[in-house]
Structure 1
Amino acid sequence: MKRQQLTIWLCFAVLLSFAQSVDYNTKKGFVAKGYDVVAYFDNEAVEGENKFTATHDGVQFKFASEENLKTFESNPDKYVPQYGGYCAYAIAESSKKVDVDPETFEIRDGKLYLFYNSWFNNTLKSWKKNNVKGLQEKADQNWEVMN
């Protein structure tokens, strides 16, 4: 009987851990479409290379150099884009998971935000024109409900 209860408890714990995992935008098989998430913090949008990859939280990241890979591995949560790498403005305004242009980004308050930018619609410009702090709070609330 104890063994059956333990099995049930373990199954519940596994299911709970899957239910809490973040939905990442992994277009092209990598977060940020394979762009180096560490390089963004140097204000650079740089594509990563296949020889420098890491897996974190069940998804893959690419890096432009071994140094950036090691930097990421030392503190991955610092470099993971907000809202799973979906467009921050769309999360805030409409609670929708919208793809991004990996070259349209902002580092704010030590966090990486990615944005949609296509067909004359650069959501980073809209983000900056509005109350950014309010949008961040709204996006944080919406993301919590979405995940």
Structure 2
Amino acid sequence: MKRFAMAVATAASLAAPAFAGEQYVDSTGFAVSGYDVVAYRGLAQNPVGTAQPAAVPGRADITAEYNGATFAFATAGNRELFLEDPAKYAPQFDGHCAYGVSKGGKVPGNPKLWRIVDDRLYLNITPNVVGFWEEDIPGNISLADGNWPQIEPAEASHNPIPQFESMAPVAE
């Protein structure tokens, strides 16, 4: 009976989103550096080992609040989709680098270095890190999912994203 209770508790914890702090926000003042998190779903993913298509910038006048941050969207329709299920579209690990979380820490995620796996958006910090991440995506996701609940919210990096030129959302 004790095993059954533990299994139920584990399953319940996996079904609910785990938050280890607020969403990573860079100097733009927006989550995901102002890129539209819904628009990633409409981009064709490239094979592992090749760069992904360019992320779609959001607009400063089409926004929504979630997990302590402002998200920007390219269209009002994308904003509406986000509001229906923000956890579906928000990047995993509050926008921190997925590989970094798999190693037990928090560093910023670069919105230009993305991949959707099992309908979840993951960001990484640099092209070199993407290479490590892609060596074992399922294994790294498993490690990150296990590490995430134990990482303290205060451990979040407030450093800028390296090798990244931020593009603030455009005002229309």
Q: Determine if the alignment matches structure 1 residue 34 to structure 2 residue 44.
A: no
Per the alignment, residue 84 of structure 2 pairs with 74
Per the alignment, residue 141 of structure 1 pairs with 146
* Displacement of 1:21: 6.4
* Displacement of 1:122: 2.7
Structure ranking higher in strand proportion: 1
Q: Distance in 2 between matches of 1:64 and 1:84?
A: 20
Per the alignment, residue 126 of structure 1 pairs with 132
Q: Taking every aligned residue pair, what percent have the same amino acid on both sides?
A: 36
Per the alignment, residue 15 of structure 1 pairs with none
Structure ranking higher in helix proportion: 1
* Displacement of 1:30: 1.4
Specify the structure having the higher radius of gyration (Cα). Answer: 1
User: Over residues 11-67 of structure 1, what are the superposed CA-to-partner deviations in whole Å (9 max), with x where a residue is unaligned?
Assistant: xxxxxxxxx763321112111111100011112511111111000132110001111
**Distance change >3 Å, CA 65–CA 57, structure 1 → 2:** same
Greater relative contact order (CA < 8 Å, ≥ 6 in sequence)? 2
Q: Distance in 2 between matches of 1:142 and 1:21?
A: 10
The code of the aligned residue for 1:57 comes to N
The code of the aligned residue for 1:71 comes to L
Q: 1:112 aligns with which of 116, 121, 127?
A: 121
User: Over residues 84-126 of structure 1, what are the superposed CA-to-partner deviations in whole Å (9 max), with x where a residue is unaligned?
Assistant: 1000001102x22111221110000000000112xxx432221
Per the alignment, residue 24 of structure 2 pairs with 25
TM-score, normalised via structure 2 length: 0.67
**Distance change >3 Å, CA 122–CA 138, structure 1 → 2:** same
Per the alignment, residue 58 of structure 1 pairs with 68
C-alpha RMSD of matched pairs (Å): 1.6
The code of the aligned residue for 2:150 comes to V
Q: Which runs of 4+ in 1 moved over 6 A?
A: none
Equivalent positions of 1:79-118 (< 5 A) are 79-93=89-103, 95-117=104-126
Per the alignment, residue 13 of structure 1 pairs with none
* Displacement of 1:133: 1.4
Between Structure 1 and Structure 2, how many residues are aligned? 123
**Distance change >3 Å, CA 57–CA 101, structure 1 → 2:** closer
Gaps of 5+ in 2: 1-18, 44-53, 153-172
* 3-state SS, counterpart of residue 122 of structure 1: helix
